């Protein structure tokens, strides 16, 4: 239960998250073509990472916890990748 962050740090991260929200809404006003979704996802992932590392204290957690925190993302990737491979490589006669 050592110091896992100061109030100041939490305020800073909070402001950062708000800023990123503004950025993502702003970015949505422009059309980047096929990059629209990746950009939105990247910004969202940056926000999520900050919440996980600093608000959820993942930065200070042990390895096992971090493995179990990350592994579901891999499984999710598998679910989407294989399912999409099926649906988008079907050949209709």
User: For another protein, how many residues bind (rule: CB under 8 A)?
Assistant: 51
Q: Which of residues 27-46 bind another protein (CB under 8 A)?
A: 28, 36-37, 40-41, 43-44
Burial of 54 (0-12, 13-18, 19+ CB in 10 A): buried
Q: Is 23 in the site for another protein (CB under 8 A)?
A: no
Helix or strand holding residue 36 (H, E): helix 36-50
Among 21, 35, 38, 59, binds another protein (CB under 8 A): 21
Ramachandran quadrant class, 57 (left: phi over 0; alpha: psi -120 to 50; beta: rest) = left
In the complex, minimum distance from the CB of residue 57 to another protein, in angstroms, rounded to a whole number: 8
Strand, helix or coil for residue 78: helix
**Residue 57 structure tokens:** 């204290």
Residues in contact with another protein by the rule CB under 8 A: 1, 4-7, 10-11, 13-14, 17-18, 21, 24-25, 28, 36-37, 40-41, 43-44, 47-48, 51-52, 55-56, 61-62, 64-65, 68-69, 71-73, 75-76, 78-80, 82-91
């Amino acid at each position: 239960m050592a110091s896992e962050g100061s109030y100041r740090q939490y305020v800073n991260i909070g402001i950062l998250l708000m800023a990123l929200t503004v950025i993502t809404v702003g970015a949505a006003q422009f059309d980047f073509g096929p990059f629209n979704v990746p950009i939105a996802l990247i910004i969202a992932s940056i926000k999520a990472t900050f919440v996980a590392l600093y608000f959820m204290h993942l930065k200070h957690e042990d390895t096992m916890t971090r493995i179990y925190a990350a592994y579901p993302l891999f499984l999710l990737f598998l679910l989407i990748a294989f399912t999409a491979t099926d649906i988008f490589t079907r050949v209709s006669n």
